[in-house]
A and B are shown apart, each in its own frame.
Chain A
């Protein structure tokens, strides 16, 4: 340790130390001369100084600086090469860094200690439900020893601000939560305070916490918001704090669950033991396993059944799953890994590209390298010198990439509506990843050329072919896979849900939240339909249990595939305009019948006539009709397997109306809301224009498509740069040969063939590799994206042809140069 200390001291005082040493050695010389003992062996003092300096073991720093300054000098001399290399590297590394950053944003947990947080669900012997009645959840929370805290949340749409007559109210989403939400689960606050237990007491002023998004978009980021009042559903509430948006959720406001009945008038949420309406999350006590907690909940449910037999069914208990909003599902992880692999391919292309460029450049530097070897430089020393050059390039390129990706991530996050995350750019994982990628790239594209160029064998040919095949192969994989995905999503862009969504809207009065029962709900809807039909401009209206495009999960599993269900009234099909391929629609008040989608009919009764068959998955029902498409469930899936049942009396509490307008449905919203509120001014109906929902879904896909296409094109661009550069070098290298060919009367086609022939084998090999690789990647992708077609020859063909065309164009430029070579000049070329 002290030795190291002395060595560092020496390094720090190195100039003085060397000066003193020189002085000492000259004094030695002078002494021995005055002694008359001129030492013949005294040789060069400089050489002695050099070897004495080596004792301290720092000479590698000198060499490094020599290498660096030499590398910089050389790179400064060839700016076009440096620019190409930086561009290629910045793109190759930048894409990787961007992906890595987005992945980090995705996986960074926002919840403290997520391992002891579990999501609660009710499990019964024959199914499960993910919402719980508040009194039941409170009962578990009070009596279970496994839980340190329970967190309940319930979302409602409420109107925000003063609503003037004749104007549409702004609907915002309020998450009614227990105070424990802020202690256990909430993201960090920006200002003010979170909700606390005292906010839940009956005489507390109603307090609200505002999301960052809401603060910025609706309240113009007002700096003095805390303590001001907002009007929700006409009630005044006081702002307590501003909070970051929870990841992956779109909530505007948070209020105490205890104040929900105050905002949503007539709500029985807090007292109704039978309607499951809140989401429950629990914080387990230290050392408690999920199993123990589930067992305990089973015992508690039995006890609860004694006092409230209507609240829990027999053998009911709580099921617990890890808190999910912070974790990626295994499927998502697989998809992310896939994306990372594809994106890594870009880096492979970039490295192979630079490798071949370096080789080509190295051949031009052959004379320099041979001279240095002849002057006694060791091969190791020259390889090190060449690697230093690549490292300098790689680090510079990665720095540009780092900057580019920081910008890209911000653009992406902003486009996605997520909060900015500049701090991420300085995250140590990003720095490490940048440096690691830079070093990996430097070795990947620098080592092989360095070894080939200093080797004694005649160099370059095979290594270049391998580099070439690598980049062609990787680019092809990317182009084919992205082409497939683009085609897949392009289908969505022109998707046809099987009905005209442009003049349709849905209106949800939210009866359940306002304490309606089955009978009063049905009565309400009967009146509403009559009133809506009387509005001028309304073509027809119908009642549906689940709103259009509002169901991606309710249903049953049939032979391993999910079948979505909905319950609708007789007018639903004609209002939406769903096309019937066989059979008939419901008659009013018909029971025990079902209408299935064509895809489900083909799945369940392949090759048979489904009409008259009995479907027993939910409750026994006879198939009376088949609709062409199940496109009313999930906007992303136009051909869902689906079954429609007649609406049941208990469905009306949650039901919505579907309204088809003759022309512009936007004009109907105000009269519709007015009619929906006429029987009960407490209600705050929410509407959705289906065209808006559709555009939102398509917009997301459009963004994905553009990203994917950009990746594929980027890879192709990189490969073209590489091929063009390579051809250019080979033309300039073979100038004399080509000149001789032209002088001897070779036809133009012969010259071009001679120039391009060495490319042929690697390109063909690379494309084959690419097709095989793409097939492998697609088979994995299909596993995750079930809508991807098994094999898409058009995507393969288009990709390969597109690749060839782009590459041919790129290679044209140097090939033309070959044709313009003047034989007389060429022969003078050295």
Chain B
């Protein structure tokens, strides 16, 4: 099994927020969506996904609601709150600034 690259620290919450932008998802679905969209590169471990989700619940960025998954299991669906959308915008712009800056250094240094 090839070594998977580590998730860039501090980006997990941003990724989850972004994934939830399209609509409510349950925990497993969130990790699957990130995995698929990233082309099987970004694997989110449960040990980091659930603490992140709890933190987002605590901050009030997402809301949770019990529902039934496609495989008929009782799961919890997470959806963005208005303050979660704000947070996503803020994190995105911060991230963009950061990557541009890093790119600039890499290109012109």
**Chain A interfacial positions (CB closer than 8 Å to B):** 2-3, 6-7, 10, 20-21, 23-25, 27-32, 34-35, 39, 41-43, 47-48, 51-52, 54-56
Contacts and interface: CB of A to CB of B under 8 A. Distances in A.
Given A7-B58, A52-B50, A30 B73 contact: yes
A3 B46 contact: no
Contacts of A30: 73
Nearest to B45: A41
B56 to A, nearest CB: 10
Dominant secondary structure at the B interface: helix
B54 A47 contact: no
Contacts of A25: 27, 46, 50
A55 B12 CA distance: 15
Contact of A27 (B32, B51, B55, B73): B73
B97 interface: no
Interface string B52-85: 0011011110000010010101111000000000
A295 to B, nearest CB: 68
Contact of A20 (B55, B71, B76): B76
A3 B59 contact: yes
Contacts of A6: 57-58, 60
Q: Which 10 A-B pairs have the closest CB atoms?
A: A31-B28, A55-B54, A52-B50, A28-B28, A52-B51, A48-B47, A55-B55, A24-B76, A27-B73, A27-B75
Contacts of B76: 20, 24
Residue among A6, A20, A28 facing the most chain B CB atoms (10 A cut-off): A28
Contacts of A52: 50-51, 54
A384 B57 CA distance: 32
Contacts of B26: 24, 27
Interface string B19-47: 00000001110011000000000010111
Interface of B: 26-28, 31-32, 43, 45-47, 50-51, 54-55, 57-60, 66, 69, 71, 73-76
Given A27-B74, A27-B75, A31-B71, A21 B50 contact: yes
A10 B32 CA distance: 28
A48 B46 contact: yes
B65 to A, nearest CB: 11
A31 B28 CA distance: 7
Contacts of B59: 3
Nearest to B32: A35
A305 B33 CA distance: 105
Given A2-B60, A20-B76, A55 B46 contact: no
A28 B46 contact: yes
Contact of A51 (B28, B47, B74): B47
Contacts of B55: 55
Nearest to B54: A55
Contacts of A48: 46-47, 50-51
A23 B74 contact: yes
Contacts of A47: 47
Nearest to A17: B54
Contacts of B58: 3, 6-7, 10, 55-56
Contacts of A51: 47, 51
A7 to B, nearest CB: 6
Nearest to B28: A31
